[in-house]
Every structure is written in structure tokens, then in C-alpha cells.
């Protein structure tokens, strides 16, 4: 029974979020609005109505007001959004991204990113409304993938690209897709894998960080227990979402690290360390690289040295520093005890 | 301003008398109960005393029916796994849609890995179990029924003794997660057909990390944790002596405090509830109006969201919770309220106030004063609420 006091989110919120939440700017209806955009629904748990007063000649947003139903960060995002767009032209405002909304709040916790998406969608809706076009989030190109939250393939791809998402839990946090019945899980995986592959090809994310259908984690349990003749299908509690950290961008101008490049870097690093090992009468030879495991053979004095494990962790530290990815150095071959070390 | 704590279904403050009873077992009486020397003997005696105190709280026939565990989750896991192992030829489990995740997610896992077939029984809008569905799920294939005594989010009390009789008639074992009930309701297990019961120390003013599983004498049992003779081989591992002593003391205090819990605390809860229902439009109590824990009030406010209410309450110095705190970090509404088919407008706006003997009139007054302006402020922001009115007119509260 691991219940705790119910406001963990309070601790995660920045001072800016708290300020916008407790003292929202530009809240309430706007009578003279000539552009209105809506996003979210009551059943989603958050909804935003954005009202704009736009100068028809200059297309400058003279005033913006919001009404929001939702959590602290939904209200704060709406408030921040109005401040971001007042004084901007429609063209300028249409380029506003989810990240810019989140950044204006000093960042949002990952599981709250959909609040910034809500703001973005309502703004796009209002702009379309101003231009006399119809627009809803689900009108973005592509079929509706998550019917519970009304998220289209186009919206998913957009969110994946803009935020470099590499896991389904991130995708759910950013777009709410898959937050309901979860039956679209396979489709979410497929869209994520495809878009990640594109991002890797474009050199925007590292291949290791990308999501692929071959390397995915096991699928979580379905959200309902199968109906039996006696009992109808019942919703079952889903675990609290755990968001994996976002993928780091691939180094600018450099292609994602290939295995060959990785091995080359490891060899260079060992070469750098070799003089120090030789000085103490030992040596180290690279045997193989298996994913994140670096297999080495220690020889000479290193084999008998009581400090061998310290030496190995020293090599490991240097490698991690050089390559910037987590690696584990595992000695193979004879050890002082005549057994093959397993690395445990 | 000292914050007011109204989240006692999440955890309670350790009673000062409980803490005092524990302290010598950290300093002087630190022995291992298994040792034959005098250090061990004193400790073994203290563990025995605590078991007697718990026996009295549970109204159990024998003190050895009580097995100390690390808490409610371990007790629940042990009960479910023990029943599956001890009932060969039976591989079905009946549980309810409003159980704690420690039961629901375990059952989900057992079903996914092909080790058990799970029947999840639904509830009505008061959170009361669908008895027809329960009856028809019972069969000679059912190893265990696991249904909570009282719901952590709404406080709805389940007639577990009647359910246990039905389970017994079908030859199935009956387990109840009584983590929220024990200490709040007087019980007498020896008069029931309940085979196993889980309780948790920190819900009744004992420390976290200690709990117990009651296993009726004669019930087939297999341990979850092996490798030691402690608890008669039913739960291996050196006893958490200070916590066990504290749990015993907490049990003794719970018995003494039943009149307060059922009288003064219930009156405080009722006053809080009535005041909110009468001063705030479009809100309703979730749970069974006729059979509810005396300390719990779950109130849903239409067209506003729970976390936003909570943030304001926190700033006003009131600690409460949105439904179950276990799911507070997720954007999903409570599985309990969903199972009760709480209307969409109210589903995201539920706040749970849970009181204890530590609360006073002044605490309740603070909430009564702070809450209405918070609701007004958030509704003024809500697109579903205009000019002080809900779009669908005034909703009738479930009960007041």
C-alpha cells in the first residue's frame, strides 16, 4: 500500500508554472473575439478554449483570453500561451511550437507535455478559425490512430519529430495517444518505429536511441480483463506512467555512431592508456565489442595485480568519457584464480 | 501556518505512544528473537505480546494465526500466491474492479503468464459489488476470492463475511485486503469464514514497513518467503522487532480509540461533508452512503480537475488527495471511480479527505473555509462553466 500524499506534481512544477497557475494571465471569456480555437474534451481530463482578437488589417493579435479545464500545468500552459502570442502576427503565432510553450514555463514535467500540445492545438484551431478554415487536431494528415484521445497519425509523427520521441510512453505523455483503452498500442509502435527510422537516416537521433520493432520492450498488459460469460469486460488499473528520458540529439554534423566508429574510438582510448599500463609491467588488448560490453584481455602484471579491478574500472571510466555512452569493460581469459571471469 | 493533514488513508502519523514502545528495541533490547541467550528471550517475549495485541484487534481465535509481514502489499501477494499453490486443481481467482493495485496488478500478471484465470467483478455507482456476477463466478475451479473489506478511495464497506460464506460453500479460500478497515472498524474474525486477511501498520498509527497476514488455523498455506523458521516457517527473515512492537501497541490503541473513531471522527467527517455539499454547487459524494468508513469522504466537483484543486488546497495548508495517491502521477482518472461509472464531468474532479483521531474541529473548519473559493476560482476558468452555472443545469448530489 504505497500511497503517499497526493501532490507529487507540486514538487515537479517550476516557479513559473506555479505563478501562471495561481495567478493566471488573460483568463476568462473575450467578448470581442474574432478567432476561437478549442482543443481537448471533458473525458480527456483537459480542455482549452482560446479566444483571440485579431486586427483584420495587420493580422496582429491584439488580445488573447483562455478558459481551461485541467490540471495545474494545463492552466499554466494556457496562461503562458496568451502571453506568448499577444502582439504577434498570425503568421508569427502559427510557427509557435509545443517546445516554445513548455520553455516559456521553464519546462514541463514529461508526463505533462500534453498540456503544451493542448495549447499548440487550440492556437492552430484559432488561426484556422480566423482564416475561415476548419481545423481540429484530428484533421492533421493521416488516419486517426488513437480513437480515445482523437490523435491522428500526422499528429503523432509531428510530436515524434519535434520532440525526438523514442518510446511509446513518451508518445503517450506528449500526445495522450494510448492513454485510454490502449488497443492502438501496436499502431503507436509502428508509427514510432517508422518515424524513428527516418530520424536516424536524417542523422537527427542516434541509432542506439531509436525505437525499432526488433528491439522494443515487452508490450504492457492490455487495459481490460477479457470478458467472461459471467462478467463484462472491466477496466483494470494501469500503472503510473514511467517516462524514459528523451533521446539525446546526435552530435551536430556527425552521423550516428556506427559500430566501426565505436570500436575505433575504443581502440584509440586503450592506445592512450597503454603507456601507463606498460609502465607497471602490464597490458590490455581489445577482444570484442558486444553492444555496450567491451571485452578486453588483461596481460602481464595486470593479471596478478591486486588492483586489476581498479585498473579495469579506470579503463571503463575513460571509455565512457571518450565515447559518451554507457559501456561496461569485462576482462576475459585467465584470471589469477584460473577461471574465466564472467564480469560479475 | 501548520499544514492540516487529511490524507490518513494514504498514511497516518505514528502515535507518540507507539514510538515510545518501539525505542527500547533499537537500543537496549536489540537481540535476535532466535538467539537462546537473554537478549533473544526478551525480544521473543515482546513479539509474542504484540501478536496477542493484534489477535485482540482482529478478534482472532488464536494468536498464531497472525504472520508478520513488511506491509499490506506483501500480505496481499502472499495470500494470492499461497492460495494458488495450496489449492491444486483450482486455478481461478475472483477479485473486484476496485481492488488496490497490489491485488489487481498481481492478478493481471498471473493471467498474462497463464498461471490463473481471473474474474474481475464489477461494482455499482455506490461501489457495491455485483453480487449476481460474484455468485456466478464461484465454482469448483476457483482457488481464491480476494476482495477488499473497505475501499481506500471511497471508504465503501464490502460485506465480506457474507461473501466469505459463499466462497466457503464453493470450496474456495477467501482473502480480504483489510488495510483500510482494520483500526477503523471493530472486527471479529473468529465468527467469520474469512480465511486470510491483510493489514498494514502505517494505516493505523504504527510505522511503515510492518504489516500482518491473518491465516485462519487449518487453512492450507504455502510461504512466499522461504529460508527461515520465523513465523513458524510461514515467513522467513529476522523479525523487524521494533516495528512489530509498535504494531502491537498501535493495535491496543486502536481498540481504545474505536469510540472516538466511530463517534467524534465520524461526526467531523459528516460535518465537513455537509458543509461542502451545502456551500458548493455541482458536487457529490462518491461511495456507499449507508455503509462507509467513518473517516473517509470522497467528493467530486464537476467541471474542474482534481490536481488543480489539490494545488490550491496545498497552498491553503490542507493536505488531501485525488482519489488514490498511487495513481496521482498519471493523467488517468481513478480506476475505482471509473468502475463506479462516475459521470464524465465529475470523473477528473474527485478529492479524497481522510481523517483520523489526530484531527480536530479547527482542521475541518479550515477546509470548509478554504474550499469554496478554490472551486469558484477554478470554475471561473473552466470552459464548461459559464456565469456561475453548469451547462446541464444543477446536478442533484448523490446524497447530502
CATH of the domain at B366: 3.90.1150.10
Is A6 part of any domain?
no
Give the separation between CA B64 and CA B67, rounded to whole angstroms: 7
Residue B396 counted as domain residue: no
Instruction: Check whether B178 has a pLDDT greater than 60.
Output: yes
pLDDT at B383 over 60: yes
Residue B387 near chain A (CB below 8 Å): no
C-alpha cell at A104: 516559456
Give the pLDDT score at A218.
Answer: 56
Domain shared by B87 and B232, yes or no: yes
Q: Hey, is B344 helix, strand or coil? A: helix
Distances (CA, A) of A6 to B7, B9, B86, B375: 8, 11, 38, 18
Residue A240 DSSP code = P
Q: Tell me the mean pLDDT in the region B304-309.
A: 93
Q: What is the pLDDT of residue A268?
A: 83
Within-domain flag for B370? yes
B325 burial type by CB count under 10 A (0-12 exposed, 13-18 middle, 19+ buried)? buried
Task: Kindly tell me if the per-residue pLDDT of A45 is higher than 50.
Answer: yes
A114 and A216 share one domain: no
B214 with B320, same domain: the answer is no
Please give the pLDDT value at position A342.
Answer: 40
Write the residue in B10, B308, B347 that is nearest to A5 by C-beta: B10
Average pLDDT over residues B202-218: 98
Q: What average pLDDT does this structure show over B273-302?
A: 96
Cβ B314–A231 below 8 Å, yes or no? Answer: no
Of residues B111, B200, B321, nearest to A6 (C-beta): B321
Tell me what the mean pLDDT of segment B83-92 comes to.
Answer: 95
- At A242 the pLDDT is 42
Residues B211 and B324 placed together within one structural domain of the fold: no
3-state secondary structure at position A142: coil
- Residue pair A36/A49 in contact (Cβ under 8 Å)? The answer is yes
- Is B232 part of a structural domain of the chain? yes
Q: Which three cell numbers mark B38?
A: 537473554
- Percentage of the residues of chain A whose pLDDT score is greater than 70: 72
Q: How confident is the model at residue A275 (pLDDT cuts 50, 70, 90)?
A: confident
Q: What span, in angstroms and rounded, lies between the C-alpha atoms of A188 and B343?
A: 29
- Segment B34-45 shows an average pLDDT of 92
* Overall domain count for chain A: 3
* B160 and B298 housed in the same domain: no
State the residue range of the domain holding B291.
4-9+258-381
Return left, alpha or beta for A86; rule: phi > 0 is left, psi -120 to 50 is alpha, else beta.
Answer: beta
| β-bridge mates for residue A36, sequence order | A51
CA Rg, chain B, in Å? 22
pLDDT of residue A149: 64
Shared-domain flag, residues A129 and A148: no
Window 211-250 of B: residues touching A by CB (8 A cutoff) are none
Structural domain harbouring A27: 11-134
pLDDT of residue A101: 94
Nearest to B212 by CA among B377, B50, B384: B50
pLDDT at B219 over 50: yes
Q: Do A34 and A97 lie in a common domain?
A: yes
pLDDT over threshold 90, residue A316: no
User: Which DSSP string corresponds to B298-311?
Assistant: EEEETTS-HHHHHH
Mean pLDDT, chain A, integer = 76
10 Å Cβ neighbour count for A300? 14
Shared domain for B186 and B270, answered yes or no, is: no
Indicate the pLDDT class of residue A11, thresholds 50, 70 and 90. Answer: low
Q: What is the pLDDT of residue A133?
A: 85
All three cell numbers of A123: 492556437
Instruction: Judge: B383–A228 Cβ closer than 8 Å, yes or no.
Output: no
> For the domain that residue A186 is a member of, what is the CATH number?
1.10.10.1100
pLDDT on residue A158: 84
Q: Which of A6, A233, A235 is most worth mutating to test chain B (most B CB atoms within 10 A of its CB)?
A: A6
Q: By C-alpha distance, which of A136, A140, A116, A112 is closest to A126?
A: A136
Q: Give the relative orientation of helices B306-315 and A15-22 as an angle to the nearest 10 degrees.
A: 100
In this structure, are A214 and A117 located in the same domain?
no
When pLDDT is cut at 50, 70 and 90, the band that residue B387 belongs to is low
Residue recorded with cell 519546462: A107
Task: Indicate whether B237 and B275 sit together in one domain.
Answer: no
pLDDT in tens, A229-263: 444 444 444 333 345 555 555 544 444 567 777 78
Eight-class DSSP state of B261: I
Select from A134, A166, A199 the last residue of a domain: A134
Per-residue confidence at A344, pLDDT binned at 50, 70, 90? very low
pLDDT of the residue at A144: 64
* Position with higher pLDDT, A220 vs A340: A220
- Of A71, A101, A134, the residue that ends a domain is A134
Q: Is B392 inside any structural domain?
A: no
Q: Is the pLDDT of residue B367 over 90?
A: yes
Average pLDDT rounded to a whole number, residues A68-76: 94
CATH number for A314: 3.30.300.130
Say if B34 falls within a structural domain.
yes
Higher pLDDT, A83 or A293: A83
| Edge-to-edge strands, sheet with A293-300 | A282-290, A293-300, A328-332
A70, A237, A238 ranked by CB distance to B305: nearest: A70
Q: Is residue A147 located within the same domain as residue A53?
A: no
pLDDT band, residue A224 (cuts 50/70/90): very low
Active site residue A115: yes
Q: What φ, ψ does residue B342 adopt, rounded to 5°? A: -65, 135
Based on the fold, state whether residues A128 and A16 are members of the same structural domain: yes
Do A105 and A62 share a domain, yes or no? yes
- d(CA A248, nearest CA chain B) in Å: 25
d(CA B65, nearest CA chain A) in Å: 22
Q: Looking at the structure, tell me whether residues B135 and B223 fall in a common domain.
A: yes
The arrangement of strands across the sheet holding B173-177 comes to B66-69, B211-215, B196-200, B173-177, B142-146, B92-96, B117-121
Instruction: From the candidates B97, B166, B316, B326, give the one annotated as an active-site residue.
Output: B326
- B235 to A308, B49, B177, B223: CA distances (angstroms): 42, 18, 18, 6
Q: Would you state the pLDDT for residue A148?
A: 59
Nearest to B77 by CA among B152, B144, B171: B144
Q: What is the pLDDT of residue B150?
A: 98
Helix (H) or strand (E) holding B367: helix B361-381
CA angle at residue B368 from B5 to B263, to 5 degrees? 65
Are residues B95 and B107 in contact, defined by beta-carbon separation less than 8 angstroms? yes
Residue B327 — pLDDT band, cuts 50, 70, 90?
Answer: very low
The answer on pLDDT for B138 being more than 80 is: yes
- Mutation site, B141, B310, B381, interface A, largest A CB count within 10 A: B381
Give the pLDDT of residue A233. Answer: 42
Q: Do B210 and B282 reside in the same domain of the chain?
A: no
**CA-based nearest distance B74→chain A, Å:** 9
Mean pLDDT, rounded, for B149-153:
97
Query: Rounded mean pLDDT of A207-230?
Result: 61
**pLDDT in the model for residue B172:** 98
* Residue B244 sits in the same domain as residue B283: no
Amino acid at each position: 500500500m504505497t500511497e503517499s500524499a497526493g501532490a507529487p506534481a507540486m514538487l515537479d512544477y517550476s516557479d513559473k508554472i506555479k505563478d501562471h497557475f495561481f495567478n493566471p494571465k488573460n483568463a476568462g471569456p473575450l467578448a470581442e473575439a474574432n478567432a476561437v480555437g478549442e482543443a481537448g474534451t471533458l473525458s480527456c481530463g483537459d480542455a482549452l478554449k482560446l479566444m483571440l482578437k485579431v486586427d483584420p488589417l495587420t493580422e496582429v493579435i491584439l488580445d488573447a483570453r483562455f478558459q481551461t479545464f485541467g490540471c495545474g500545468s494545463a492552466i499554466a500552459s494556457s496562461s503562458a500561451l496568451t502571453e506568448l502570442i499577444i502582439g504577434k502576427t498570425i503568421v508569427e503565432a502559427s510557427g509557435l511550437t509545443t517546445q516554445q510553450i513548455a520553455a516559456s514555463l521553464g519546462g514541463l514535467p514529461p508526463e505533462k507535455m500534453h498540456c503544451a500540445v493542448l495549447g499548440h492545438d487550440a492556437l492552430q484551431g484559432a488561426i484556422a478559425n480566423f482564416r475561415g478554415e476548419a481545423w481540429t487536431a484530428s484533421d492533421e494528415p493521416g488516419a486517426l490512430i488513437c480513437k480515445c484521445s482523437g490523435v491522428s497519425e500526422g499528429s503523432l509523427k509531428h510530436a515524434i519529430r519535434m520532440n525526438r520521441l523514442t518510446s511509446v510512453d513518451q508518445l503517450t505523455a506528449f500526445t495522450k495517444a494510448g492513454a485510454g483503452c490502449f488497443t492502438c498500442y501496436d499502431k503507436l509502435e509502428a508509427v514510432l518505429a517508422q518515424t524513428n527510422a527516418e530520424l536516424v537516416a536524417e542523422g537527427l537521433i542516434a541509432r542506439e536511441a531509436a525505437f525499432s520493432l526488433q528491439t522494443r520492450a515487452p508490450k504492457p498488459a492490455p487495459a481490460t480483463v477479457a470478458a467472461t460469460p459471467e462478467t463484462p469486460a472491466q477496466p483494470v488499473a494501469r500503472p503510473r506512467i514511467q517516462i524514459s528520458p528523451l533521446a539525446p540529439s546526435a552530435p551536430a554534423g556527425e552521423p550516428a555512431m556506427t559500430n566501426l566508429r565505436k570500436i575505433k574510438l575504443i581502440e584509440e582510448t586503450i592506445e592512450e592508456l597503454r603507456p601507463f599500463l606498460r609502465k607497471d609491467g602490464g597490458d590490455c588488448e581489445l577482444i570484442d565489442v558486444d553492444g555496450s560490453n567491451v571485452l578486453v584481455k588483461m596481460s602481464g602484471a595486470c593479471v596478478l595485480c591486486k588492483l586489476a579491478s581498479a585498473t579495469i574500472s579506470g579503463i571503463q571510466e575513460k571509455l565512457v568519457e571518450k565515447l559518451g555512452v554507457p559501456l561496461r569493460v569485462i576482462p576475459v581469459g585467465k584470471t589469477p584464480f584460473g577461471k574465466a571471469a564472467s564480469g560479475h | 501556518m501548520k499544514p492540516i493533514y487529511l490524507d490518513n488513508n494514504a498514511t497516518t502519523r505514528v502515535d507518540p505512544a507507539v514510538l515510545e514502545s518501539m525505542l527500547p528495541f533499537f537500543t537496549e533490547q536489540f537481540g535476535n528473537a532466535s538467539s537462546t541467550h537473554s537478549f533473544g528471550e526478551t525480544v521473543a517475549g515482546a513479539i509474542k505480546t504484540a501478536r496477542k495485541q493484534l489477535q485482540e484487534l482482529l478478534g482472532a481465535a488464536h494468536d498464531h494465526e497472525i504472520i508478520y509481514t513488511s506491509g499490506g502489499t506483501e500480505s496481499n501477494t502472499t495470500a494470492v500466491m499461497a492460495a494458488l499453490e495450496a489449492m491444486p486443481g483450482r486455478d481461478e481467482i475472483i477479485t473486484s474492479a476496485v481492488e488496490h493495485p497490489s491485488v489487481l496488478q498481481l492478478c493481471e500478471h498471473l493471467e498474462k503468464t497463464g498461471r490463473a484465470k481471473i474474474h474481475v467483478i464489477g461494482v455499482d455507482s455506490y461501489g457495491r459489488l455485483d453480487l449476481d456476477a460474484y455468485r456466478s463466478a464461484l465454482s469448483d475451479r476457483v482457488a481464491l476470492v480476494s476482495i477488499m473489506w473497505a475501499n481506500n478511495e471511497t471508504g465503501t464497506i464490502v460485506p465480506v463475511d457474507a461473501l466469505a460464506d459463499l466462497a466457503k460453500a464453493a470450496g474456495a479460500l477467501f482473502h480480504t485486503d483489510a488495510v483500510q478497515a482494520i483500526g477503523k472498524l471493530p472486527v471479529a474474525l473468529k465468527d467469520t469464514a474469512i480465511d486470510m486477511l491483510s493489514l498494514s501498520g502505517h494505516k493505523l498509527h504504527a510505522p511503515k514497513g510492518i504489516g500482518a497476514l491473518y491465516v485462519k488455523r487449518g487453512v492450507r498455506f504455502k510461504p512466499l518467503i522461504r529460508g527461515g523458521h520465523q513465523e513458524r516457517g510461514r515467513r522467513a527473515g529476522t523479525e523487524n522487532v521494533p516495528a512489530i512492537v509498535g504494531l502491537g501497541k498501535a493495535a491496543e490503541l486502536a481498540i481504545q480509540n474505536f469510540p472516538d473513531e466511530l463517534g467524534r471522527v465520524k461526526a467531523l467527517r459528516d460535518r465537513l461533508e455537509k458543509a461542502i455539499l451545502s456551500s458548493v454547487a455541482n458536487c457529490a459524494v462518491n461511495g456507499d452512503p449507508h455503509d462507509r468508513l467513518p473517516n473517509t469522504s470522497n467528493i467530486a466537483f464537476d467541471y474542474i480537475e482534481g490536481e488543480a484543486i489539490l494545488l490550491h488546497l496545498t497552498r491553503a495548508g490542507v493536505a488531501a488527495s485525488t482519489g488514490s495517491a498511487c495513481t496521482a502521477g498519471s493523467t488517468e482518472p481513478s480506476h475505482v471511480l471509473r468502475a463506479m461509472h462516475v459521470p464524465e464531468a465529475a470523473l477528473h474532479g474527485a478529492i479524497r479527505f481522510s481523517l483520523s483521531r489526530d484531527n480536530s474541529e479547527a482542521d475541518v473548519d479550515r477546509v470548509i473555509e478554504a474550499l469554496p473559493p478554490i472551486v469558484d476560482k477554478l470554475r471561473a476558468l473552466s470552459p464548461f462553466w459559464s456565469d456561475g452555472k453548469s451547462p446541464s443545469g444543477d446536478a442533484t448530489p448523490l446524497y447530502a
